[in-house]
Amino acid sequence: MGDNISAGAEDYDFILVGAGSASCLIASRLSQQLPDHRILVLEAGEHYRNDPKVQTPGLSPTLQSDPAYDWGYSTAPEPGLNDKRVKHPRGKLVGGTSAINSHSVVFPNYEWHDRLAGELLSESGRADWSSQGMQDCYSRWQAGSSGPRVNDDVGFLDRVQTSYPPTMDVLQLQWIKAFEELGHATSTTGFAESSAGAVTVTNAIDSSKGERSHAGTAFLEPALKRGNVTLRTGVKVDKIAFDETLTADGKLNAKGIRYTYHGEEHLISARDVILCAGVFESPFILERSGIGSRKVLAAANVPVLYELPGVGENLQDHLNCGLSCETQDDILTRDEGLWDSEMKKAASLEYERSRTGRLAEGPAYSFAFTPLQMLETPSETQQLTEIVKDSVEGETNPSLRAQYSVIQKTIESPSEATATTFLVRSQRHRDTESLPKGTPPFVNGNFVTVIAMLAHPFSRGSCHISSDPSHQPEIKFNYLSHPLDTEILARHLLLIERLFQKPTFTAMTKPQGKRLPRTFPFPVSSLEDAKKILPTNAATNYHPSSTCSMMREDLGGVVDDGLRVYGTKNVRVCDASVLPIIPRGNILTAVYAFAEKAAEMICREVKSSVRLD
């Protein structure tokens, strides 16, 4: 096998790089459906079993930026956000970011899937990736409070537990009412055709225990008990090792993975390699392995094995911006919990005693799918659709033109969200850096905050290997670099302001009450006002995606419709990096569903090759 393979020359059928959300699910499905195959999962972080900080839903903010749990990525200065460096927490533990995120379960829509399949993929992948082909994939990974269902083919499936809030408070109930008042009945919370309106979503919390349910506990723990899955932690993968000769059809054949552990280099061989290292690390590993843009690899002194310019490009994220209003004195919010140490202590005691109370819940359950048409005049809508049409027609890059055409259809549809809007039952500050030093972090009072998250941004960034490959990747999102993002997000701030003026909200808020952000504490009365607020107050929703996009190669894709890296025979990628256009809401549901599809394809392939043999 070659003498540079580490002693013990282990041989696996599959190596999964990373033990994040997608990897844990794939390991679970393969271990169950291919019991005679050996699966190795390599994770650079640790496996925290029964860690109260991870388990307690209300402690998720403390995990982010704690180097024990978070890789602590940060962007280059972002010109569109006043040159701020934006922190991007990613999970440094088994379960990946599903083990440190803030739990909300928000689904994409049918139209998004159908357009990705029809407009960005070759014909062979359209049936698999259409909304119809993906329906089961969105239901298989989760079990609602009613408990898991049985699938006859595979017996009990490992699933993430999801639950609704234990009780609905005034703000959550009024949220639904506010949209009904606009003529939009509550829409469905699951994977479905788009309809405008408010929803109460589930969170990835096991309500029977009051604990976070994440990919590590839901998928990998049961898989490890089956005996055909091995987990190795503290292992940072250097690169994929390829055979020196190409396959008969001219492709690179991966023979395994090189990694360093305690200063020693190892090579583990495998029949198939599946990169699930996340949106920043998967392209980074491909580049270190010699797959990527010639220019990027030359700058890092890496020999090119296959030129694939899309690697690390097309980076997207949900940018959001919100407004807060002070509530009437009889409407309590979560604000006291921000500064009242007695209340914090009481919440901790309640959670310790009964696994209930604030610490047993996630921060956000109240969402709405908001097309701008909901509160715009027809002339405002027409003006925007014309601006978008001109911009898309003027785009000369074929990949962007294809993607922008997909987004254009969303904007023109009166039922599809141009932003996913959500309610937070407390004040929110994103402008602290723009205020005088020593400004208190919070304002006295109870607040309701409504935040618009730009559903499908036009701005594109990149994530690449630097000239020193041992450093973290260089990350640039180029937030608000495309003028349409400013145009659309500013219009959504106006939509929030118009929502605040409707009877449901005016009944809950003080007529002359305090307003946030502190850098603009007034009602937003014009599009110009709204645009000025963005560079100081817009923030990330922590949903980076698309650096190894599943698209046709001529459109700048990195993986094909089987999630195989172009130019390779046996390297796949499956994590948030393969989503070619970011979906409308929190991306974890799509990551799990894409992982379900990956496992389905792999099992189908293995079983058909066995039949051929």
DSSP secondary structure, 62-129, as one string: HHTT-TTTB--EEPSPBGGGTTBPPEE--B-BTTGGGGTS--B----BHHHHHHIIIIIS-GGGHHHH
**pLDDT on residue 498:** 97
**pLDDT on residue 185:** 85
On whether the CB atoms of residues 517 and 533 are closer than 8 A, the answer is yes
Query: What is the C-alpha end-to-end distance of the chain, expressed in Å?
Result: 24
Residue with tokens 């066995």: 610
The radius of gyration computed from the CA coordinates of the chain, to the nearest angstrom, equals: 24
Identify the H or E element spanning 462: strand 462-464
From 85-94, 127-136, 468-477, 498-507, the region with the lowest mean pLDDT: 468-477
DSSP 416: S
CB atoms within 10 A of CB 124: 10
CA–CA separation, 263 and 381 (whole Å)? 60
**pLDDT on residue 608:** 87
On whether the CB atoms of residues 315 and 75 are closer than 8 A, the answer is no
Residue 5 counted as domain residue: no
Of residues 385, 376, 379, the one with CA closest to residue 411: 385
Q: Which two tokens stand for residue 174?
A: 């009024």
CA–CA separation, 238 and 457 (whole Å)? 32
For 287, 413, 544, the CA distances from 580, given in Å and listed in that order, are 19, 20, 12
**Helix residue spans in 289-323 (DSSP H):** 294-299
**pLDDT on residue 9:** 52
What's the per-residue H, E or C state across 159-218? CEECECCCCCCHHHHHHHHHHHHCCCCCCCCCCECCCCEEEECCECEECCCCEECCHHHH
**pLDDT on residue 114:** 98
**pLDDT on residue 20:** 98
**pLDDT on residue 612:** 54
**pLDDT on residue 7:** 39
For 267-309, the pLDDT digits (tens) are 999 999 999 999 999 999 999 999 999 999 999 999 999 999 9
From 184-188, 223-227, 505-509, the region with the lowest mean pLDDT: 184-188
**pLDDT on residue 340:** 83
pTM over 0.75: yes
**pLDDT on residue 538:** 98
CA–CA separation, 406 and 501 (whole Å)? 33
Phi/psi for 435 (5° steps) reads: -105, 160
Q: Which two tokens stand for residue 577?
A: 């990096």
CA–CA separation, 534 and 537 (whole Å)? 5
CA–CA separation, 500 and 365 (whole Å)? 19
Q: If pLDDT is split at 50, 70 and 90, which confidence band does 22 have? A: very high
On whether the CB atoms of residues 131 and 113 are closer than 8 A, the answer is yes
Flag whether 97 is marked binding.
Answer: yes
Identify the H or E element spanning 489: helix 483-500
**pLDDT on residue 610:** 67
Residue 6 counted as domain residue: no
CB atoms within 10 A of CB 344: 16
- Type of residue at 192: A
DSSP 545: B
Residue 563 counted as domain residue: yes
Residue 561 counted as domain residue: yes
Identify the H or E element spanning 267: strand 264-275
| Overall domain count for the chain | 1
On whether the CB atoms of residues 238 and 259 are closer than 8 A, the answer is yes
For 105-159, the pLDDT digits (tens) are 999 999 999 999 999 999 999 999 999 999 999 999 999 754 444 443 445 789 9
Total residue length of the chain: 613
DSSP 219: I
Containing domain of residue 587, as a range? 11-612
- Which residues face 457 on adjacent strands? none
pLDDT mean over 31-54 = 96
CA–CA separation, 527 and 493 (whole Å)? 8
CA–CA separation, 523 and 493 (whole Å)? 10
Q: Which two tokens stand for residue 242?
A: 């390829």
Q: Which two tokens stand for residue 431?
A: 């402008």
CATH number for the domain spanning 596: value is 3.50.50.60
Residue 2 counted as domain residue: no
For 519-562, the pLDDT digits (tens) are 999 999 999 999 999 999 999 999 999 999 999 999 999 999 99
For 8-21, the pLDDT digits (tens) are 457 899 999 999 99
* Strand, coil or helix: 3: coil
Residue 4 counted as domain residue: no
| Beta-strand pair 319-326/447-454 | antiparallel
E strands of 372-446, at which residues? 419-424
- Type of residue at 170: V
Mean pLDDT taken over the chain: 94
**pLDDT on residue 186:** 80
